Amino acid sequence: MLDLQSNPTLHVLFRIARRRVVTGFIVAAAAFAFARPTWQSILMGVPIAVLGESVRVWAAGHLIKGQEVTTSGPYALVRHPLYVGSALLGLGFVVAAASLFVAVAVMGYLTVMITVAVRLEEATLSADFGETHAQYVAGTSPVVARRFSVRRVRENREHQSLLGLFVSVAVLCLLAA
Q: Which tens digit of pLDDT belongs to each residue from 96-114?
A: 999 999 999 999 999 999 9
In the prediction, which pLDDT does 138 show? 95
In the prediction, which pLDDT does 2 show? 64
| Beta carbons of 161 and 56 less than 8 angstroms apart | yes
Count of domains forming the chain: 1
pLDDT category at 8 given cuts 50, 70, 90 is confident
Residue 14 has pLDDT above 90, yes or no: no
Q: 62: how many CB neighbours lie within 10 A of its CB?
A: 22
Q: Which domain holds residue 105?
A: 4-176
In the prediction, which pLDDT does 140 show? 92
**Model pTM greater than 0.85?**
yes
In the prediction, which pLDDT does 142 show? 86
In the prediction, which pLDDT does 135 show? 95
In the prediction, which pLDDT does 4 show? 66
Residue 144 has pLDDT above 70, yes or no: yes
In the prediction, which pLDDT does 11 show? 83
Rounded to an integer, the average pLDDT of 126-155 is: 93
Over residues 73-100, the pLDDT tens digits come to 999 999 999 999 999 999 999 999 999 9
In the prediction, which pLDDT does 71 show? 94
**157 to 4, 119, 140, 153: CA distances (angstroms):** 26, 22, 30, 6
Distance between alpha carbon 49 and the CA centroid of its chain, in Å? 12
Where residue 35 sits, what CATH number does that domain have? Answer: 1.20.120
pLDDT category at 153 given cuts 50, 70, 90 is very high
Tell me what percent of the residues of the chain surpass a pLDDT of 90.
Answer: 86
83-94 burial by CB neighbour count: b if 16+ within 10 A, else e? Answer: bbbbbbbbbbbb
| Beta carbons of 149 and 61 less than 8 angstroms apart | yes
